[in-house]
Structure 1
Amino acid sequence: MPQHTFFASAPKHMGSLLAEELARLGLQGAVEARGGARFVGEIQDAYRACLWSRVANRILLPLAQFPATGPDELYAGAERIHWEEHLSPESTFAIQLDGVVNGVSHGQFAALRVKDAIADRFTRLLGYRPSVDPESPDLRIHVYVHQDQASVSIDLSGTSLHRRGYRSEGTSAPLKENLAAAILLRAGWPDIAAEGGALLDPMCGSGTLVIEGALIAADIAPGLLRERFGFMGWLQHDAAAWQRLLDEAEIRRSAGLQRLGSLRGYDQDPRAIRIAIEDLARAGLAGLAHFERRELADCRPGRDDDRGLVVVNPPYGERLGSEAELPALHARLGSVLKERFEGWRAALFTGSPDLGKHMGLRAHRIHHLYNGPIECQLLHFRIESSDFVANRPRTLAPTERSDGATMLANRLTKNLKALGKWRRKEQIDCFRAYDADLPEYAVAVDIYEGEPEGDAPQRWVHVQEYAAPTSVDPKRARHRLREALSVIPEVLEVPESRMFFKIRRPQKGTAQYERLAETRRFHAVKEGGFRFLVNFEDYLDTGLFLDHRDIRRMIGELAEGRSFLNLFAYTGTATVYAAKGGATRTTTVDMSRTYLDWARDNLALNDVPMQRQELVQADCLQWLDEAAGRRRFDLIFLDPPSFSTSKRMTDTLDIQRDHVGLIRATTRLLEPGGLLIFSNNLRRFRLYADDLADLEIQDISRETIPRDFARNPRIHQCWRITKPA
């Protein structure tokens, strides 16, 4: 059999991986080349590459190479090729031309010259010619022009080999199948699968990574589902050799399916999961991988003793995901991996490598790949405690600090002294000690104290950095932050392990309430003689809004003998004050089951009997509509987010736009003479009092701002709204 030099094309940065794959397939002389890899062999070797390559786009059989300094030379070189040996005049063909031909401004014209050369040769030799079919030709011809040299090849693959044949409709921004396979090969999945390891994608979309992982693990040829290849319309096609390869692939598939291990894909989008299940069935793997609608927060291994590879292609802003939400998403992902997947390996494919830094894991290897035109990185992690990194900047030794750090230490000390007498008198245990007093050190420092541990109370410090404006040099801002995080634990006399750090950015929708991590570590702190559970790691906020301290106290003083409703209740701290203040009954409404459970725990922590406490999981807007005419309360606390939208909400809430309607809907639930406490933290909020003229409204913002928030008087706004009797 004659030997040929074949060319296999691949996406950018995948040539070396393709050469390795071709060598593993037993193909001789496989080496990386511009745009892919070359190998040497007989026609059946090219067939094997078409059937088994998971990485290649196309397998080309070069026919000729010649100078092409212009369209006429391109025509002449193409016309000299013996096309009658490859294509019958009854067949159809199509030309794909890549590259630039001198003197041709449009590549389509250059392709037309090649088409003319083929047609003219057939007409000259046989008197008639094959037709052109750009959509579904019998034979595709590929022309590549580079530096005035043309290479003309038969495309043995036909359509791109990434089209396996199992994908139907895609979700947003789906990975191409050969890119998914490249990610898995680079991540070492074949060896992990051979050792019986598991594969899990916690954001699987339409399931491409999981399905490709199954094909690899079960030793299934990726081309086995394809109905057609380009060589099938080639005059020299060896059908017998092709059938032998198909028979061998079927035998290997049957054997491989018997040893397929655990493969799982989760996604929060039910439509994506439906597509994944359908595509899995089209791949002939129905029931052999598990797809399930599941939030990232609920992602776990299939079995406790599973070990293997977590592979994930999270949104990274180019096609999916809001930029403001992506750091928190990656932080949550990192937390899930560290909490539940220790001993596994992980691979993160991203077009924004900086997002990977939010995961709190140290990447031990990086590969560069392209997702279409987007340059991406594949970050490899060992999920071992030795590779966990703190999710905050490194602190600085005293010799590394500037005079500004000393100023910050002095200001923090001064604030503690100034607040000391007030704190002791008012029994304030959780408070703000510093709030960007020095503009160069734009952080908020909150101190939380719990029950004594020995002779001293337990103390935790929660530090939030306000995102610096773009005009500030990022390196300088980073250095100042490191100075602040070095000074704060020293002045407050707390170990670094009890100091927690977050970056405070303007939040949209429900972002401020979404999980950053999954530690589920809660601490009991004191306020106003009560105890509350706080969490410093899993959310942007801790579960206790310190600026609402005086509002909660007011609610407790007003609650005696009254029925109380807490809307957008968060962790139910106001409900605790109302119940302990003598409310006859309380109703607590929030859309989040997590926060309602937290509220229940806060009530239990304060020995509140649950017989008269109602906890309702609902969209507050919808609940108000349903409760109208059926429920009445004497005292209502309404503290909505500035803007909110969720898959579970029936509508969006914009507090500036919607507050009049929201207040009206709420006051309909008030008894005559009843009182509504309305608060929000939108700094530029303006109450449309004229539209609420039938209600008695009193602005109590100033008297509800605690002393420790005096530097930030716009932290919230608050009104007493009374329904006339």
Structure 2
Amino acid sequence: MLSYFIPTAKGLAPLLEVELKEMGIENTKQLNGGVTFDGTLEQGYKVCLWSRFASRVLLKLSEFKVLDSLDLYLGCSNIPWEEHFDVTSTFSIDFSGSNDEIRNTQFGALKIKDAIVDRFRKKFDDRPNVEKRDADIRFNGRLWKDKATIFLDLSGSPLHLRGYRTIAGEAPMRETLAAGIVKRSGWQGEALLDPMCGSGTIVIEAAMMALNIAPGSLRQTFGFEKWKKHDDECWKTLKTAAQVYAKRAVNQCESRFYGSDLSKEMIEIARQNAQRAGVAELIEFSVADAKKVLPPAELETGMMITNPPYGERLGGFSDTVALYTELGFHFKDAFAGWNLSMFAMDTELLSCLGMRAGKSFKFFNGPIECVLKNYRISPKRNQEKVEEPLPVSTSPSENPERLNPWTMGRAGDKLIPEVNVNSESDVLLKEMKQIKPAIYSEAFANRLSKNMGKLEKWAKRENIQCYRLYDADLPEYNVSIDRYGEYIIIREYRAPKEIDSGKVRRRFLDIVSTVRYMLNLSDDKLVIKVRERQKVRQQPESTKKQTLVIHEGQAKFLVNLQDNLDTGLYLDHRITRSRIANMAQGKDFLNLFCHTAAASVHAVLGGAKSTTNVDMSKTYLDWAEENYAENGIKGVHEFIQQDCIKWLQHAHQMFDLIFIDPPTFSKSKRMADVFDIQDDHIALLTSANERLNANGEIVFTNNKRGFKLDIDAIKGLGFYVKEISQSSIPEDFKRNSKIHQCWILSKHDK
């Protein structure tokens, strides 16, 4: 009898052991990283050919005690290597493990290589060559504490390389892991759909299972083929039987498979892979967005198995949260009655689906610990006729007879009745506990609800469409939340490096799930972004211009909610812009660091005679011109792309009113020097003063925390200084009194 060790990926060993027993292999034993058994050579070949979960098939050659490198060398010297390969063949050594004396895997492999070479030299006065990549025969050494085990690798290249996938997508999943996911999903042969199939690995592996295609039958070579003890007749018999069976099985399979992906290129790759795997007739591929894909019309139920992208594949964790949340809403609506199996990087992400899992399994995708969760999506029930609901208020406190929209939700598939906001708090909390999602923060929800009750009534009274609902009110929930009409933007402040990343992810998931639940948002009305705490004045990188027209008083502005961190409108300067409109009648207005020229639009609508807008960003200036066009503005108005500091030094025009809202810090290729608002504000205001008429005024603001205006230097320029910081902060920013500072610098005392 021969002794084998069959390594596999973490999480697959139980499946591998069951699979070996189904092959008729007894005396199996799970060890760390795989399964061992004693059996025949034919059984070793059978594992190479039929195993869906094995990484390799290792045949034990020797086992001995090792205390130091000499023991390893001598133990390997006693192995009759010449019985396994010739001196004309190439070989390679894989080594893993360490002890107190052998601490480096390369050193361990080197000692085994030396023992092999020296034995051949002693016997044949010649030596075989080492070939790391395409060796004729491979050996494997494993060291555990004081015991070394030497194996012949019968598989050669890893067994997850089936042979059908010549091109894979970004971050491809190994075929062995895909097979494990299908097995753990509980799939029983019903229709199977992967709505984010990539190169098709999951559906192809499932189809091969349905046809009982031996995974190894597609491979061109195995490691044992140049082994001197290889039984070629035995191997050919096993392989021929497997190939014949597969050809017969295609016409007998009743299962059907569907794969879709947003990428047309990946779908074409998936089709080619399925063709090579021999399962193309069973799989229907299509190009579709997973957030919009629908089940095949002929199916009432089925199984969805998928591995959504995450992390850098999407652009960041926040993008991943948004995707999973939208998938949850869509799957529950479009795939009612289906089974769903989702593979993801962590449990918290899957909680965004808003569903309760029946079973959960831990896997590893390479070094990344992942989880597979199985769900049963509740079938849709016949809706009973109900009375017409009362109108829904946009404010919890607006009308005691009207009801709070964030208490609307789903429990299973029944609509939850609205809750009277004047009910006792314990009754309200009881209702909330019955309908809240799996990820939900009571503390955050209470604060957001309080803000909504105060701000939504104010916004309606003031006819304000865009305002801030929440700004890191609770330190542990470190985001800002803005409303832009029907849209909600969650901006995640980057946490300090010393904060545990897992805790940051969990809290952010709390926020996203709670906001969607409380505001009853549809899938396309939530935008998630990541930003630094300070206002970042950066030129947008994208020009997709997913714009929305919003109103602010008499003005209209184009805002871009999706493409960039910056929407094109700084909400904290709403009052400042209104003040500028009141100050601008009949004046020549200069807007330095003009951004999208929102202040200039207000100035024109307030009666400004002319406006001049200066900014270093062409993107912002183009955007500014679009804002002018949106408001039907014509006349004497300039848009100048230049460094504001340099422009002031060479400009000749004079102005009656100047607005300066500079960045806190700036450095770009177009600037010769670094600009720091604290160090450089006097030089900036000195240059601006030279362009100001005798009775002119400057509105100067910035958002640097801890900024100190040099009052004495300002007065030395001949200005009267009036701070308006507190009165310039709107109601929705009152909780953050340091959001900006603002002054009016006048050439005359008012």
Paired residue secondary structure (2:196): strand
C-alpha deviation, 1:233, in angstroms: 1.2
Q: 1:717 to 1:40 in 2, by over 3 A?
A: same
- Give the structure 2 partner of residue 550 of structure 1: 575
Q: Is residue 394 of structure 1 aligned with residue 437 of structure 2? A: no
- Give structure 1 stretches of 5+ with no counterpart: 202-206, 268-272, 398-404, 451-458, 490-494, 515-519, 615-619, 623-632
Q: Is residue 235 of structure 1 aligned with residue 224 of structure 2? A: no
Is contact 1:214-1:289 (8 Å) kept?
no
Q: 1:199 to 1:701 in 2, by over 3 A?
A: same
C-alpha deviation, 1:84, in angstroms: 4.2
Is contact 1:335-1:359 (8 Å) kept?
yes
Tell me how far apart the structure 1 counterparts of residues 88 and 256 of structure 2 sit (CA, whole Å). Answer: 46
Q: Is residue 184 of structure 1 aligned with residue 184 of structure 2? A: no
- Give the structure 1 partner of residue 291 of structure 2: 300
Q: 1:708 to 1:121 in 2, by over 3 A?
A: closer
The correspondence of residues 368-407 of structure 1 with structure 2, limited to 5 A, is 368-378=362-372, 389=437, 392-394=440-442
Paired residue secondary structure (2:53): coil
Tell me how far apart the structure 2 counterparts of residues 146 and 563 of structure 1 sit (CA, whole Å). Answer: 82
Is contact 2:491-2:528 (8 Å) kept?
yes
Q: 1:338 to 1:427 in 2, by over 3 A?
A: closer
Residue 196 of structure 2, aligned match among 200, 222, 227 = 200
Q: Is residue 310 of structure 1 aligned with residue 306 of structure 2? A: yes
Residue 215 of structure 1, aligned match among 204, 209, 215 = 204
C-alpha deviation, 1:431, in angstroms: 7.8
> Deviation digits for residues 559-616 of structure 1, max 9, x if unmatched?
78999999999999879867876799999999999xx9xx99xx9xxxx9876699xx
Tell me how far apart the structure 2 counterparts of residues 353 and 609 of structure 1 sit (CA, whole Å). Answer: 46
The correspondence of residues 119-198 of structure 1 with structure 2, limited to 5 A, is 130-163=128-161, 166=165, 174=171, 177-178=174-175, 180-181=177-178, 184-185=181-182, 188=185, 191=188, 194-198=190-194
Paired residue secondary structure (1:197): strand
C-alpha deviation, 1:77, in angstroms: 5.0
Q: Is residue 715 of structure 1 aligned with residue 739 of structure 2? A: yes
Paired residue secondary structure (1:11): coil
- Give the structure 2 partner of residue 332 of structure 1: 322
C-alpha deviation, 1:347, in angstroms: 2.2
C-alpha deviation, 1:36, in angstroms: 0.6
Paired residue secondary structure (1:262): strand
C-alpha deviation, 1:58, in angstroms: 1.4
- Give the structure 1 partner of residue 403 of structure 2: none
Tell me how far apart the structure 1 counterparts of residues 723 and 7 of structure 2 sit (CA, whole Å). Answer: 70
The correspondence of residues 9-88 of structure 1 with structure 2, limited to 5 A, is 9-23=7-21, 31-39=29-37, 42-68=40-66, 74=72, 77-79=75-77, 81-88=79-86
Q: 1:382 to 1:242 in 2, by over 3 A?
A: same
Paired residue secondary structure (2:442): coil
Paired residue secondary structure (1:341): helix
Paired residue secondary structure (2:57): strand
The correspondence of residues 212-611 of structure 1 with structure 2, limited to 5 A, is 212-219=201-208, 223=216, 226-243=219-236, 248-249=242-243, 252=246, 261-266=257-262, 281=272, 300-303=291-294, 305=296, 308-315=304-311, 326=317, 328-342=318-332, 343=335, 345=340, 347-350=342-345, 354=348, 362=356, 364-378=358-372, 389=437, 392-394=440-442, 506-507=532-533, 547-554=572-579, 556-557=581-582
> Deviation digits for residues 635-673 of structure 1, max 9, x if unmatched?
99897987999xxx999x99859999xx99xx9xx9x99
C-alpha deviation, 1:61, in angstroms: 1.6
- Give the structure 1 partner of residue 399 of structure 2: none
Tell me how far apart the structure 1 counterparts of residues 610 and 214 of structure 2 sit (CA, whole Å). Answer: 66
> Deviation digits for residues 142-193 of structure 1, max 9, x if unmatched?
233334444332101123334456466985xx3562575266336628657x
Paired residue secondary structure (2:307): strand
Tell me how far apart the structure 2 counterparts of residues 688 and 249 of structure 1 sit (CA, whole Å). Answer: 85
Is contact 2:179-2:205 (8 Å) kept?
no
Paired residue secondary structure (1:93): strand
Is contact 2:217-2:243 (8 Å) kept?
yes
Q: Which amino acid aligns with 1:184?
A: I
C-alpha deviation, 1:9, in angstroms: 0.6
Tell me how far apart the structure 2 counterparts of residues 144 and 446 of structure 1 sit (CA, whole Å). Answer: 54
Q: Which amino acid aligns with 1:37?
A: V
Q: 1:83 to 1:300 in 2, by over 3 A?
A: same
Is contact 1:423-1:429 (8 Å) kept?
yes
Q: Which amino acid aligns with 2:441?
A: P
534-543 vs 681-690, which deviates more?
534-543
Paired residues in the alignment total: 630
> Deviation digits for residues 532-584 of structure 1, max 9, x if unmatched?
99999999999986532313323554678999999999999879867876799
Q: Which amino acid aligns with 2:329?
A: E
C-alpha deviation, 1:449, in angstroms: 13
C-alpha deviation, 1:712, in angstroms: 4.1
Aligned-residue RMSD, C-alpha: 7.3
Tell me how far apart the structure 2 counterparts of residues 25 and 634 of structure 1 sit (CA, whole Å). Answer: 90
Is contact 2:191-2:257 (8 Å) kept?
no
Tell me how far apart the structure 2 counterparts of residues 134 and 426 of structure 1 sit (CA, whole Å). Answer: 73
Tell me how far apart the structure 2 counterparts of residues 714 and 104 of structure 1 sit (CA, whole Å). Answer: 59
Is contact 2:181-2:372 (8 Å) kept?
no
Q: Which amino acid aligns with 2:728?
A: T
Paired residue secondary structure (1:55): coil
C-alpha deviation, 1:462, in angstroms: 11
Q: 1:17 to 1:712 in 2, by over 3 A?
A: same
> Deviation digits for residues 20-47 of structure 1, max 9, x if unmatched?
4445666555553232123565434433
Q: 1:443 to 1:281 in 2, by over 3 A?
A: closer
Q: 1:513 to 1:157 in 2, by over 3 A?
A: farther
Q: Which amino acid aligns with 1:161?
A: L
Is contact 1:96-1:143 (8 Å) kept?
yes
> Deviation digits for residues 648-699 of structure 1, max 9, x if unmatched?
x999x99859999xx99xx9xx9x9999988654446799999xx99x9999
C-alpha deviation, 1:263, in angstroms: 2.2
- Give the structure 2 partner of residue 626 of structure 1: none
Q: 1:354 to 1:82 in 2, by over 3 A?
A: same
C-alpha deviation, 1:85, in angstroms: 3.8
C-alpha deviation, 1:88, in angstroms: 2.9
> Deviation digits for residues 177-215 of structure 1, max 9, x if unmatched?
2575266336628657x52323315xxxxx4xx432243
Paired residue secondary structure (1:8): strand
Is contact 2:554-2:605 (8 Å) kept?
no
Is contact 1:71-1:110 (8 Å) kept?
yes
Tell me how far apart the structure 1 counterparts of residues 699 and 194 of structure 2 sit (CA, whole Å). Answer: 53
Is contact 1:56-1:178 (8 Å) kept?
no
Is contact 2:261-2:290 (8 Å) kept?
no
Q: Which amino acid aligns with 1:394?
A: E
Tell me how far apart the structure 1 counterparts of residues 326 and 666 of structure 2 sit (CA, whole Å). Answer: 25
Tell me how far apart the structure 2 counterparts of residues 245 and 196 of structure 1 sit (CA, whole Å). Answer: 30
Q: 1:431 to 1:168 in 2, by over 3 A?
A: closer
> Deviation digits for residues 433-486 of structure 1, max 9, x if unmatched?
99899x999999999999xxxxxxxx9999999999899999x99xx99xx9xx
Paired residue secondary structure (2:91): strand
| Percentage identity across paired residues of the two chains | 30
Paired residue secondary structure (2:311): coil
